[in-house]
Structure formats: C-alpha cells, structure tokens
Structure 1
C-alpha cells in the first residue's frame, strides 16, 4: 500500500508544473482561501522586494530565534535577509542553526512558502506549526539521502537509491501515540529552483500542497490549540533524521511567505 501511494504521489508531482496557489480574497474584512475557508488575517512577506538587512535582523512580524535544542543551537547570527531571500544558515561542520518564527499566535492557517531548499547533505529544512511536541504539523526536507528516514522511504517505494523526500507529518497527539507521516516526492530541482510549499491547518484536517497541487492530507493527530509558525534550517548528529552536520555551508532560502490565519 505504501509503495502504491508513493508511486501515485511521484507521478502526480512529475506531471505538475511549478505553479502557485491562488491568493486569498479579501471579503468583508476577512480572507477567503480556495473559495471555502475563511481566515481573519493575512501576513505577506516578499523578501525579493526588501533591502538587505544586518545579520539577525528580520522584518516586522518575524523574530530570529536564539536558544539551544539538545545538541544544536538556533542563533540570530545564522539568519540573514540578503539578495532577495530570507536566508537560514547552518555553517559547515557545525550544529549552529537558523530559525525564524511568526510573532502572532495562530490557530488554523493556510501558509504558503516559496523557497529553495538546502543542497549539502546533513540538514533539515522546516516549515511548520508548533505549540508542543504533541501539537505540531510539519513540512520538512532532509538533505542527506543517507538519513535512515530517507533510505527507509526509498526502500518502501522501491525508488532509486539516494532519493531524498519531502516529509509531511502530524506529530503524535499524546506521548504514547504514533505520529502520522508521509514522505512524498520532491518537485524538480528543489535545491536550485523556487517552489511553493503550502500547509493548510484546518479544524480536524491538515492539507499539504506542492506548487499548488494537493499531495497529501490527514485527519489524524491534527493540532487543535494555538501556537507558533516556524521556519528553520538545522542539523544535529541524529543518523535517523538530519544526519548532519553538513560538510559545507547549507542555506535554506525563502523568497515569500503568504500566510492566512486566525488568531488565538
């Protein structure tokens, strides 16, 4: 069943063009997405139209993180708005990582991120909602094809060796539960070409899109409380996941964030 599902997703993405989701429409001081979902607010950051900023500085509404996590550390020194992108860095042979969060607390959202993923093996690029380890939904890219998670997905799909995957997940809603996750095929040339990665978190369901095409949805382990939207690029020594650090500098480049959301 897993192999059939992965094959279908691979086929669908290969046929898709590098498109974008339709923007939400403002109707009576609310934002309507896909002609059916209504949100209170819209925040839009177009980094391609911004001037370069000093290291660690980000535009209004965002915050560069500064805190440790286990073996790695999120530092504002690894966050840079330059040359038309929000750049989140992991420096070579280092676990010092880059992260930006949205200041506004969010409860349900449609978030579209136009980005170029990191090429060097050994990092995780993340675009996700987080309130706690049991209230989280993610889009993540593991750049190391040798990561145990990537190699397991490749084996399950009977795919070509050294295949990397885009990981879509709802984390387990209890500490004794099991997360809901699906690896899907990456769009063409994701580490050199801009693509749109979209996550819709709605009451009772999460929907995941690549270049405007729905690639997976889930009604299991869907978050239900307000929290924070996060964008990051990080590495640790976990061979099952990020399998880092990278041998050369790894940069996750975000061109646009288009976010429709309700507040807590």
Structure 2
C-alpha cells in the first residue's frame, strides 16, 4: 500500500497511451523521446505534404547545365513562410570535386523539388513532395533540401517516404556537419541505393573510413526492412541522434544502432536524391530517373539558438509524439500545472518512478 499512497500523494496517474490527451505545441515545454535512448527535446516541427494538390505540378526536366541551378522554385508553396523559415533548396554542383570517384557533373536544381498530385485511387494522400534525379547526356540533374539552421544538436527525424525509380541513384535523410577535412566531418545517414536489393537500407555514422582509408565496420550497418517491406513501399523512416548513439527505425521497429562516431557538434538536416557515377551511387542509364517521395516530415530537436518560446515554464509540461493517435500532433504526458497529475505511459516508466517502485515495494 506504501507505493499506492505515494502515487496518490504526488498526483501520479498511470494511464494507457491511448488515454493521453492530444495537445498543441504551444502547451509543450519539452518532448520526451521513446526509443533506444531516453532524451528530451525542446522543439517540434511537422511538415505535411498530403493536401497540397492545388500546388502540385511535375515540371519538365531542364536539360541545359547553365539553366539548371538557377531555375525558379516550382510552386508558390516553396516561397511560403511554412517552407522558408525552416528549409532551403540547394543549387550547388560537384565541379570542384566533392567526391574523388565522381565520373560526371552533378547539379542540384530547385526544378527537381516539387509537389506531385496522387493519381493512384488506391492510396489516400492527395499529394506528396518529390525530390528527383535524372541522368542526362551531359550531366546528372539532382535534388537536395537542407535546413536553414546548422545549429541542430541532437534530433529525432522521421519521414513517411518511399524511393522509386531506376538503378544508379541514392536517396537519403541525414544530419551533416561540414568540414574541409574528411576526418572532421560529422554525419548520421539513412541512405537507399537503388542498385541494392529492395529490402536493404544503409545506416551510417560518418566518416566511415579509418585513418588508413579502409572501411570501418563499426560505423555502418546494412539493415533489412522489417516485415517484408521494400524501400519502394511507403514506410516511416526514423533516425534518432542522441548524445550516446544513433538509432534507426522503420515503422517504429529498430533496424540499426551504433555508438561509434556518433556526432557531437551542431549540424544541418538534409534530404536528397542524387548520383554522380561513382562507386557508391553506381551508373544511371541516360534518360533514367529516381525519386525520393515524402508524404510528411517530422522532427524533434534541440539547438544552440535562443529559445523560441520563453516563459513556458521549462519542462513543466512534457509531451510526446510517440504513440500519438494523430501524426504531427503531440500528446500531453504530464504537466505540473495546478490541478494536473503526472500522466505516464503504461510500459514506459521514467527512471524516477522506477526508483520509487523499488524503494517502496
């Protein structure tokens, strides 16, 4: 009875996850991550591309190098505050030899980032975001979006996505800290090679080579999609970068984890679809294309930038996006506000409560 009296005295109420109430981000002081490593995050963003069919249009591929990088955005959506206060669209090229084994010019273009209408009556979204890469006679036209901020320090990023198209391309979701010296680059990758078997994905902390230039086995995991899924199927891909490790999930099933070379410093968030004819990407046939397509993208994060929501009482109100019945909308786990108990997930017990259970059992 001792622990029961203690729980009642402290206002702790144990409930099923389904009973946790949907709430708004403005009411959340921080977010508790359910995963391989417990972590708290201060910020949450959700980008939903499923209902933008009014902005959807597939632009024709620009076939001239000189016009590719300078192409305008493909929709007014990419000029909206919803987009521009977080993302930018890359237009750099590899003419300065980004990768030593590249065999042809690769040019990122805003023309390859667009909203696409769904014409498949067997699936529900009205639209999705597409990142396109295509092999042209003179170069590879590619797509990349990256966060405006390079000050993310620990994140949980998720996307409902699929990769489709021809062999010889890479699609990816990753954190990235740039350095002119390869050994000082910090990066956590989820990569899909369209030349691979369709159930294999690559989960890596970079750099994945040792000081002798050999592959470091501890840095990379060739993971298998669970439950018979293929990377051409819609699935929720998730990457958790936490202080001790990087963990990868597909549909909430852990597929890889490593503590080796976990990034330590602030980084960007990047999504791309590309090829350069090198050993890693493979050689795409002229005229062929591949695509990374996203229905939505979600991120929990900490940054080194000033807090955006002052006066919220720190972590007095703790929320979660894990187990929420509404994707993109958090649930309230607990609040220390007047008249509020501490609400916990059954089967997900914080360390403090575990200690109390031990002491008073």
Given the two structures, how large is their TM-score scaled by the length of structure 2?
Answer: 0.57
The one of 171, 180, 186 aligned to 1:135? 186
How far, CA to CA, are the matches of 2:255 and 2:209 in structure 1? 26
Q: CA deviation at 1:197?
A: 0.7
* Residue 49 of structure 1 pairs with residue 51 of structure 2: yes
Q: What is the aligned partner in structure 1 of residue 290 from structure 2?
A: 250
1:229 and 2:269 correspond: yes
| Structure with greater strand share of residues | 1
Task: Note if 1:65 corresponds to 2:94.
Answer: no
Q: Aligned pairs, how many? A: 224
Gaps of 5+ in 1: 1-22, 146-161
Please give the alpha-carbon distance, in whole angstroms, between the structure 2 residues aligned to 1:37 and 1:25.
Answer: 20
Alignment check: 8 A CA contact 1:173 1:222 kept: no
Residue 142 of structure 1 contacts residue 164 of structure 1 at CA under 8 Å; is this kept in 2?
no
Distance, in Å, in 1 between the alignment partners of 2:256 and 2:208 is 19
Deviation of 1:28 (Å): 4.4
Q: 2:166 aligns with which of 100, 116, 120?
A: 120
1:125–1:140 Cα contact (<8 Å) kept:
yes
- Residues 189 and 215 of structure 1: is their aligned pair in 2 closer, same or farther, counting only changes over 3 Å? closer
Q: Which runs of 5+ in 2 are unaligned?
A: 1-21, 57-72, 98-104, 118-126, 305-361
Q: Distance in 1 between matches of 2:200 and 2:163?
A: 12
Q: How does 1:194-213 map to 2 (within 5 A)?
A: 194-213=234-253
Bigger Cα Rg: 2
Shift of 1:176: 2.2
2:141 to 92, 96, 119: 96
Aligned position for 1:186: 225
Q: Deviations over 1:129-162 (max 9, x none)?
A: 00125200100000013xxxxxxxxxxxxxxxx5
| Stretches of 4+ aligned residues off by more than 3 angstroms | 23-28
* Deviates further, 74-83 or 253-262: 74-83
In the other structure, the counterpart of 1:172 is: 207
* TM-score of the two chains, using structure 1 as the length reference: 0.77
CA root-mean-square deviation: 2.6
User: Residue 50 of structure 2: SS of its match in structure 1?
Assistant: helix
